[in-house]
Structure 1
Amino acid sequence: MMLWLGDRLTAEEAARISPLDRGFTLGDGLFETLRLSGGAVLRLEAHLARLAAGARVLGLPMPSLDLGAALAATAQANGLLDGVLRLTLTRGTGPRGVLPPAAPSPTLVIAAAPAGPALPPARLVIAETTRRNELSPLAQVKSLNYLDGILARQEAARRGADDAVLLNTKERVAETTIANLFALIDGALVTPPLADGVLPGVMRAAVMAEGAEERPLGAFDLERAGEIFLTSALGIRSVSAIEGRALSSFATAERLRARIPGA
């Protein structure tokens, strides 16, 4: 595999990142997962805008190079027309301690992978081990620290599910460990508002543009939803069960897949 490291393409076996990089030692960084379709990166501007917004929150300098060109070069170097690109940006190396260096030298890595098989509808549980902190500025940032999600995903696996719904500190629905959540309730397509600890998903925005509305949701709302589906940069995934309750309607998700590129 060819990677983009810093300002150039590098063979995976030759790539080197310092063990003192703050992305490794502290999770001090950001990432974006991007869908590649027909050789084009879908919703590139939205991804780069979210990356820049996260960088402002962290006080992390953005690379001066053309990230769109770097992404395209990485895909081309790996012979990919359809697949997934992962862009990782860390603060780079620094001295011991939490306070970042005054003049950081960020580390940029772009990796490519072929598209995997389509996933079946997901089985969900509501996480009991962790909560989404809607009061943290990191709730709006796609950061490298994914430990809450990892704990919840492990819980889901133990309970025989594919993913876990995270509630926030007010017991409101936020999202799952890797995706935004939409529900069809009383004929209305709804999704939790950003203020409830929701990451501003790129595919979420595309679905919102099709007429969905934001509304605070509780676990009881999911209990009566006629349809639930998940969205991420890689597409729309229907939900077949939540907390053991079967869901058989996938019509809204299917309609949106037909209307939204890459869904």
Structure 2
Amino acid sequence: MTWLWLNGGLVSADAARIDPADRGLTLGDGVFETMRVAHGRIVHVALHLDRLRQGAEVLMFPAPDLDRVEDALRRVVRRNDMTDGSLRLTLTRGCGPRGVMPPAHPSPTLLVTPSPPPAAPLPAARMVVSTRIRRDETSPLSRIKSLDYLPNVLARLEAAQRGGDEALMLNLAGRVAEASASTIVIQREGRLVTPPVAEGALPGIARAVLLAAGMLDEAPLDLDDLRHADGVFLTSSLSVREVASLDGVALARVPGTADAIRACVQS
């Protein structure tokens, strides 16, 4: 049996219920975090909780009690005897009346769900540049993990329709922002480079770890930067993946770089 955390306590997955009036369900009014569990430890939990706090602040939620949130995460790990896998934390504004305006004193919903590790590592990605979806680098929502994930969903669907398995989203200026669920990192002249947050890139956790370690530089990137890079990688809290091709054209690949990134962000 799988155990979740929902609104103050552990509950079996079969018994868990979300109120039909929850604004996360009806309006996407919420934020989420996905974090890796390795050897029973929640990797980079402090960074995830800080980003959760920032997302709640942007959405004008009541400030979450991060100590209680962390306790809920650890209880889910213990109750499910998790060694490796991932946790998905969802925080919504809670229930409200019909309409856009939230209640004056919301009571947020907190849900934590566990998942097992993937059966096998992902192969190198066949990435497609989305022609339908752009990242709005001017929007504060581009800087948080909002539940409104439909642009990412549509970009990934477009990639699948065109024979790819990942989508690259450009910003409104036509420069590189991010992939549908990952940070874009390139290698050139022996350094790793990623777009700045101001370009519409989500401030990812793996990205933050690489920056703090001095392994990563920030600079605006365009499609030619990816095409002429020594290697292109997708990084997230859960995986590090090479990119094999962009719009059907093979990209250069650098042996060993993905392993070095992985060693840093998954430690």
TM-score, with length taken from structure 2: 0.94
Contact 2:33–2:48 (CA<8 Å) still a contact in 1? yes
Contact 1:4–1:111 (CA<8 Å) still a contact in 2? yes
> 1:162 pairs with 155, 162, 165, which one?
165
Contact 1:30–1:54 (CA<8 Å) still a contact in 2? yes
Aligned alpha-carbon RMSD (Å): 1.3
- In structure 1, the residue matched to 2:246 is 242
Pairing of 1:174-189 with structure 2 (within 5 A):
174-189=177-192
Residues 1:171 and 2:174 are matched in the alignment: yes
State the one-letter code of the partner of 1:251: G
Shift of 1:210: 3.3
- In structure 1, the residue matched to 2:22 is 21
TM-score, with length taken from structure 1: 0.96
Shift of 1:261: 5.1
Residues 1:122 and 2:125 are matched in the alignment: yes
Long gaps (5+) in structure 2:
none
Contact 2:89–2:112 (CA<8 Å) still a contact in 1? yes
State the one-letter code of the partner of 2:58: V
Tell me the distance in 2 between the aligned counterparts of 1:118 and 1:31. 24
Tell me the distance in 1 between the aligned counterparts of 2:152 and 2:182. 11
Please say which of residues 244-253 and 219-228 is displaced more in the overlay.
244-253
Contact 2:53–2:64 (CA<8 Å) still a contact in 1? no
Shift of 1:188: 3.0
Percent identity (aligned): 48
State the one-letter code of the partner of 1:99: M
Tell me the distance in 2 between the aligned counterparts of 1:163 and 1:185. 22
Pairing of 1:186-197 with structure 2 (within 5 A):
186-197=189-200
- In structure 2, the residue matched to 1:228 is 232
Contact 1:125–1:161 (CA<8 Å) still a contact in 2? yes
Shift of 1:245: 2.1
- In structure 2, the residue matched to 1:217 is 221
1:177-229 C-alpha deviation (Å, 9 max, x unpaired):
00001011243321000000111000011122233111001112111111000
State the one-letter code of the partner of 1:22: R
Pairing of 1:1-263 with structure 2 (within 5 A):
1-64=2-65, 66-116=68-118, 117-208=120-211, 209-247=213-251, 248-258=253-263, 260=264, 262=266
Shift of 1:250: 3.7
Shift of 1:256: 2.3
Tell me the distance in 2 between the aligned counterparts of 1:192 and 1:66. 34
SS of 2:134 mapped into structure 1: coil
Shift of 1:107: 0.4
Long gaps (5+) in structure 1:
none
State the one-letter code of the partner of 2:21: L
State the one-letter code of the partner of 2:140: P
Tell me the distance in 2 between the aligned counterparts of 1:246 and 1:88. 37
SS of 2:158 mapped into structure 1: helix
SS of 2:135 mapped into structure 1: coil
SS of 1:153 mapped into structure 2: helix
Tell me the distance in 2 between the aligned counterparts of 1:16 and 1:151. 27
Please say which of residues 61-70 and 107-116 is displaced more in the overlay.
61-70
Change (3 A) 1:261 1:180: closer
Please say which of residues 179-188 and 1-10 is displaced more in the overlay.
179-188
SS of 1:217 mapped into structure 2: coil
SS of 1:14 mapped into structure 2: coil
Tell me the distance in 1 between the aligned counterparts of 2:219 and 2:78. 41
